[in-house]
Structure 1
Amino acid sequence: MSTKNEQLFLQAKKHIPGGVNSPVRAFAGVGGTPVFIHKASGSKIYDTEDNAYIDYVGSWGPMILGHAHPKVIEAVKQAADDGLSFGAPTPFETTIADKICEIVPSVELVRMTNSGTEATMSAIRLARGYTGRDKIVKFEGCYHGHSDSLLVKAGSGMLDIGEPTSKGVPADFAKHTITLPYNNPDAIKECFAKWGNEIACVIVEPIAGNMNMVIPTQEFHDTLRQQCSEHGAVLIFDEVMTGFRVGLGGAQAHFGIEPDLTCFGKIIGAGLPVGAFGGKREIMQCIAPTGGVYQAGTLSGNPLAMRAGIAMFEDLTVDGFYDELASKVDYLIDGIQAAADKHGIHLRSNKLGGMMGFFFVKDGDTATPQNFDEVSDCDIDAFNTFFHGMLERGIYLAPSAYEAAFMSSKHSQADLDATIKAADAVFAQMAQ
């Protein structure tokens, strides 16, 4: 790793806790020094010494059109010329809201926020206000941002009240959060049998992207929908990662499930800071100013993000866009899997649309992990070796074995072939 990155990291630590503004960037999970980026274009990011990396992080998902897409950049430049923020309504907010409601049938009304964390936090407050109940259900291994109610893990028993996973979260908050194993329909039924009339909502990543990528069964989602409907609980799909990513209609279109509320993330602003939550009119009308559930944000729906999003959606809605994205993912995953098999590396993978995940399973494990415990049981050291080997060869993956990877429309055949070739070389070393 270059001494330039080490110098920059040292400098950053002087006035930024841990030298980073979001923990995963610190490379704590994989070891070594983070790469400091100063620009990006298309499928590539460039460090401060102008070394190029083929990027499969894509700012954690939103760069579906590649970095610095000319049309999006032009839209942002024009928006900036007109002023950065007004704290007043603009017609661009309406255009994005109309577009989201047109694409996602379960969303009848939508409210903009500034981040995915704000979206999930607000959706939960709304569900509590709408139902008049306090308890919420989440799943082990799903991440919904860093609000207090959600930084909770399961208690000692499977059906137990949660415990905080972060200091600073009062145990009183945690006692309202029930954490269940992901992808387990029976646990959902047991939970509702015990607490059904106290549960305000269930929040779930319909495809997990924060324990690497785990695609649950159809039965899991059918059970969730059925139990929430039966007991009057609000079903919240956190599509911050999957929305407009695994397909135009998101994971809910893939599974044919209609959630009551959906949360979206920075992809709707083409990578600028933005989030949103929306859903059934009856529920969304409980939000201020039409209802008693308070939620606000000076920069919500800011014109830069809205105009960037409008430009991006023009490309996303072109016929065949997602088919092409998925075929690139298929080619890449198939190529990397073949290389792993050739060298006797125990690799498993998941993929859907423009999203993918790799698991280095332990010797003897044949199945792809289905939940957080199985992901945690993977060979993290093997992933870390793979990560650094790929980084040295100019391939940038998420610096954690617990994160998914993302494809953009700008990844070329040459990029994919170079990535497979790099993986083959790393696997050859790992097999020695």
Structure 2
Amino acid sequence: MSKNQVLFERAQRTIPGGVNSPVRAFRSVGGTPRFIERAQGAYFWDADGKRYIDYIGSWGPMILGHVHPEVLDAVQRVLANGFSFGAPTEAEIEIAEEICKLVPSIEQVRMVSSGTEATMSALRLARGFTNRSRIIKFEGCYHGHADSLLVKAGSGLLTFGNPTSAGVPADIAKHTTVLEYNNVEQLDEAFKAFGPEIASVIVEPVAGNMNLVRATPEFLNALRERCSEYGSVLIFDEVMCGFRVALGGAQEVYGIEPDLTCLGKVIGGGMPAAAFGGRRDIMAHLAPLGGVYQAGTLSGNPVAVAAGLKTLQLIQRRGFYDDLAKQTRKLVDGLSHAARDAKVPFSADSIGGMFGLYFMDSVPGSFAQIQHGDTKRFNAFFHAMLDAGVYFAPSAFEAGFVSSAHDDAVIDATIDAARGAFASLAA
């Protein structure tokens, strides 16, 4: 029995499902999860000592690759002074100034410890600012596991939401309306029906949790126009795509300014750090200035801030995003050619350092379209690549990530492995 199997059996005795986040359990793809012992650059090694090319990058944060020497040095220098203080530090000001400089729509920012904290706090703030209760979210967009966000639409177009997780009270879910991503007509109908009740619309401008799905410019422009018209707060959840698709995030790519933005992943450099921020007049409603309460013992933790601040400084190097996008595009083009040679239905897309792989003929634009993908074929591909030493997300509904450490040799090795994997699918 492999060490990975031994560890998984042991973990299940004390940890529900043997993992601390569900997708790690390999339930959708089958098999034994890999327990990682160390990482370096574009690679990590499991408990059995096998090396993998890593395309999850801790689900996005490792944009510089693992254990970047300058980030490691920044963390080590801060560690020598203490792990946590529960009091302000100058570094918190520095990272806030950096975020506000890089994302112009953010005039003020509040640090938190996770993406879920960022989105739930932003929604509470939007409700406190507008004195309204209803929020709109979109099918396939994941905004963390707060009660208001674990909601699926009912059978009718604009029916009250129904909980998609046990433990979410219906009285909370009813305040959330779920619409189809990229559907402007549904959005217009929702505002006509509920406009004066809508506190906020929250959206991933580049979705990553139903696989990579881009918003259309028409859709995001409609969101901005309707929110401005009805006085609703537009929240861009850029926890995943922020600093991933461009230096200024998806809002830079689309040229649209939200009222609030949620950030995470990259701004922690692999450490637990996230943030939400936006218009000064909205942020002024946060305690201690206003009546919307939000707090956190580890918010702005000095170790996490050190990793995040150094990461934000390094990704500003000239040509960084051009090179990152080039390597990501080289990956998806190579995979697409390999699939085409094997006559396997397949498509792929990328933006910045994010990519999506779809076992279907065309790139999807919504969760409903994603559902038509061949998940059995994806699962077979995933395991063939895993056996070849390439670690993609263990789910057909997750985006992938490339780092600046994924050089030509790494990408070429991935494409070579994919040729064999696709050939096995066609056999």
**TM-score scaled by length of structure 1:** 0.98
Gaps of 5+ in 1: none
The residue number in structure 2 matching 1:339 is: 338
The residue number in structure 2 matching 1:391 is: 386
AA partner of residue 238 (structure 1): D
Question: For the Cα contact (< 8 Å) 2:234–2:260, is it kept in 1?
Answer: yes
Q: State the alpha-carbon separation in 1 of the partners of residues 135 and 111 from structure 2.
A: 23
Determine helix, strand or coil for the equivalent of 2:109: strand
Question: For the Cα contact (< 8 Å) 1:141–1:372, is it kept in 2?
Answer: yes
Q: Which digits, 9 at most, give the CA deviation of each residue in 1:143-198, with x for residues without a partner?
A: 00000000000111121110000000000000000000001111111100000000
Question: For the Cα contact (< 8 Å) 1:215–1:350, is it kept in 2?
Answer: no
Aligned residues: 427
How big is the shift at 1:85? 0.2
The residue number in structure 1 matching 2:283 is: 284
Q: State the alpha-carbon separation in 2 of the partners of residues 154 and 384 from structure 1.
A: 28
Determine helix, strand or coil for the equivalent of 2:303: helix
The residue number in structure 2 matching 1:38 is: 37
How big is the shift at 1:279? 0.2
The residue number in structure 1 matching 2:86 is: 87
The residue number in structure 1 matching 2:364 is: 369
Determine helix, strand or coil for the equivalent of 1:358: strand
Match of 1:382 among 374, 377, 384: 377
Question: For the Cα contact (< 8 Å) 1:13–1:19, is it kept in 2?
Answer: yes
Q: State the alpha-carbon separation in 1 of the partners of residues 94 and 259 from structure 2.
A: 22
How big is the shift at 1:104? 0.3
Q: Which has the higher mean CA deviation after the structures are superposed, 45-54 or 81-90?
A: 45-54
Q: Which digits, 9 at most, give the CA deviation of each residue in 1:97-156, with x for residues without a partner?
A: 000000000000000001000000000000000000000000000000000000000111
Q: State the alpha-carbon separation in 1 of the partners of residues 232 and 333 from structure 2.
A: 40
AA partner of residue 171 (structure 1): A
1:83-162 mapped onto 2 (5 Å cutoff): 83-162=82-161
Q: Which digits, 9 at most, give the CA deviation of each residue in 1:311-358, with x for residues without a partner?
A: 112211111100000000111111110010111111111110000000
Q: State the alpha-carbon separation in 1 of the partners of residues 407 and 346 from structure 2.
A: 24
Q: State the alpha-carbon separation in 1 of the partners of residues 372 and 10 from structure 2.
A: 36
How big is the shift at 1:49? 2.2
The residue number in structure 2 matching 1:324 is: 323
RMSD: 0.7
How big is the shift at 1:367? 2.8
Question: For the Cα contact (< 8 Å) 2:211–2:357, is it kept in 1?
Answer: yes
How big is the shift at 1:266? 2.5
Q: State the alpha-carbon separation in 2 of the partners of residues 198 and 350 from structure 1.
A: 37
The residue number in structure 2 matching 1:247 is: 246
The percentage of aligned residue pairs carrying the same residue is 58
Q: State the alpha-carbon separation in 2 of the partners of residues 106 and 186 from structure 1.
A: 27
Gaps of 5+ in 2: none
Question: For the Cα contact (< 8 Å) 2:184–2:222, is it kept in 1?
Answer: yes
Q: Which digits, 9 at most, give the CA deviation of each residue in 1:334-393, with x for residues without a partner?
A: 1110010111111111110000000001xxxx4311111111121110110110000000
Residue 315 (structure 1) aligned with residue 310 (structure 2)? no
How big is the shift at 1:420? 0.2
Question: For the Cα contact (< 8 Å) 1:87–1:299, is it kept in 2?
Answer: yes
AA partner of residue 230 (structure 2): H
Q: State the alpha-carbon separation in 1 of the partners of residues 316 and 285 from structure 2.
A: 31
Q: State the alpha-carbon separation in 1 of the partners of residues 378 and 133 from structure 2.
A: 40
Residue 402 (structure 1) aligned with residue 401 (structure 2)? no
The residue number in structure 1 matching 2:60 is: 61
Q: State the alpha-carbon separation in 1 of the partners of residues 216 and 299 from structure 2.
A: 35
AA partner of residue 132 (structure 1): N
Q: Which digits, 9 at most, give the CA deviation of each residue in 1:30-50, with x for residues without a partner?
A: 000100001000000111122
The residue number in structure 2 matching 1:200 is: 199
How big is the shift at 1:305? 0.8
1:188-267 mapped onto 2 (5 Å cutoff): 188-267=187-266
Q: State the alpha-carbon separation in 2 of the partners of residues 123 and 395 from structure 1.
A: 37
Question: For the Cα contact (< 8 Å) 2:100–2:106, is it kept in 1?
Answer: yes
AA partner of residue 328 (structure 2): V
The residue number in structure 2 matching 1:171 is: 170
Determine helix, strand or coil for the equivalent of 1:98: helix
Q: State the alpha-carbon separation in 1 of the partners of residues 109 and 283 from structure 2.
A: 8
Question: For the Cα contact (< 8 Å) 1:356–1:404, is it kept in 2?
Answer: yes
Question: For the Cα contact (< 8 Å) 1:207–1:251, is it kept in 2?
Answer: yes
Determine helix, strand or coil for the equivalent of 2:194: helix
1:265-280 mapped onto 2 (5 Å cutoff): 265-280=264-279
Q: Which digits, 9 at most, give the CA deviation of each residue in 1:383-432, with x for residues without a partner?
A: 10110000000000110000000000011211100100011100011001
Question: For the Cα contact (< 8 Å) 2:4–2:48, is it kept in 1?
Answer: no
Residue 49 (structure 1) aligned with residue 48 (structure 2)? yes
